[in-house]
Structure 1
Amino acid sequence: MASTTIDHYLRVGGNEVALDPEGYLVELSDWSPAVAECLAEQEGIALTPEHWEVIGVLRAFYARYEQAPAMRPLVKAVGRELGPEKGRSIHLMRLFPGSPAKVSARLAGLPKPANCL
């Protein structure tokens, strides 16, 4: 079993959730909507229903493929599930500035995508 470095903890409703040095959950089972809200706050993001739609797509993708999608598969999955207008890079950049694949995976409680192109 690989060792994961715990960098810090996120306080969520009296509980401590371990994060790795890049801010991803050490234990994926620690994820909850409240954890997502706290992680989003750290990113300067106020989660809207559009964010939650994408988080839902990501969590379903992970449940099916056991990996967080990189940018291209993320765009494709969002487009397939939420329609072509939402399945565009520009839409995801607006919701999850910086690196949409990394930021959205972190908020969805998933591991860092292997390739974020």
Structure 2
Amino acid sequence: MSDLPERDGDGYLLSMDKWTPEVGQAMAEADGVNLSAEQWAQIDKAREFYEEHAVVPPIRKFAKYINVDQKELFKMWQTGPMKPITKYGGLPKPTGCV
């Protein structure tokens, strides 16, 4: 799948409804990111949280939501975890602490 939906300067989808798991995978590949099954599970949980609350969770709340230590999330993603989780999950950009 080479035709990615339009993305903004940070690589986020301009239109959330263009997201599918395949689009998320293609976006990660285009960015040179290889997502593990565990990372995909977190992306799914973030989408679930967003559907329930209509907001991207802050990292502390998300870590508690998925019952994973915040430090582990940072280690696994090697960056502020909410950025790639929301980007490849087709969610809006997180605000505040990421």
* TM-score interval, smaller chain: 0.7 to 0.9
Q: CA RMSD in A?
A: 1.7
Is this contact kept in 1: 2:73–2:81, CA < 8 A?
A: yes
Larger relative contact order (C-alpha < 8 A, sep ≥ 6)?
2
1:66-105 matches, cutoff 5 A: 66-79=54-67, 87-105=68-86
SS at match of 2:6: strand
1:1-117 matches, cutoff 5 A: 13-79=1-67, 87-117=68-98
The structure with the larger Rg is: 1
Cα shift at 1:42: 4.0
TM-score w.r.t. the length of structure 1 is 0.74
- Identity of matched residues, %: 30
The answer to which structure has the higher strand fraction is: 1
Query: How many residue pairs get matched?
Result: 98
Mark the runs of 5 or more structure 1 residues left unpaired by the alignment: 1-12, 80-86
SS at match of 1:98: coil
**Amino acid in the other structure paired with 2:35:** L
Moved over 6 A (4+): none
Mark the runs of 5 or more structure 2 residues left unpaired by the alignment: none
The answer to which structure has the higher helix fraction is: 2
